[in-house]
Amino acid sequence: MGKINREDMLELTRRMTLRRNCFDRIAGAYLDEEGFVDGTFNKHFHRLSQKDQQINLDIAKAIPFSDTNVQLKEYVFGGADQRPGSIWQLLMALKECGLKNDAMLDVFYEEFGKVYRADGSYAVYFFHGSYDVPLKASDKESLWESEEVYQFLICAVCPVSGDYEPGKPECGFLFPAFKDRSSDTERVNIFQAAGNFGEAGGVEEILFSCQ
């Protein structure tokens, strides 16, 4: 397990505002406490109302903006974790298609519901974003030239109440990891609001144990 650079995370969150929004798509599912899917959605992010865009930006931003290396930790996908049929392979495919494949999303929701432990109904939110990473000079000033386009997924899991009203994210992840201002597909940054990593039924078990 490596360390996450807080500045990398802050650089990403600066693109998670209404004016500088880096997301193009949002998808998700509502699940009951037993892990069964009650409904799903898949929308172009910019077609949401400004109010809904802000609500969802706040959900997504909570993952990279969390307490680095306490609530948000780096995990490595080893060779065995990248085997055919793995969650890693599924996440890579979801990233490449920009969340536009509902069948693959349904597979993730089903696998997630089998493992995740919840006290009530919850929602799994997926965001697809891209960020033109600017080159930086030796004095760390931006040169405004793109070094690479970092495409990524943010997953946030929130309790829901009433008419699917989301609470604050309880867990989630950023994939691929944004490490040294670049994409690292062999790593993922996992978020646990309570910092209770390693518990059965948590995100780590879902990402590294499901086949």
Q: What is the pLDDT of residues 133-177, one digit of tens each?
A: 987 645 555 555 567 899 999 999 999 998 899 999 999 999 999
pTM of the model: 0.92
| Residue 1: inside a domain | no
Note whether 146 and 105 are within 8 A (CB).
no
Give me the number of domains the chain comprises: 1
State the Cα–Cα distance between residues 101 and 84, nearest whole angstrom. 18
Cα–Cα–Cα angle for 125, 151, 116, rounded to 5 degrees: 30
State the Cα–Cα distance between residues 74 and 90, nearest whole angstrom. 19
State the Cα–Cα distance between residues 119 and 178, nearest whole angstrom. 31
Q: Which domain holds residue 65?
A: 6-209
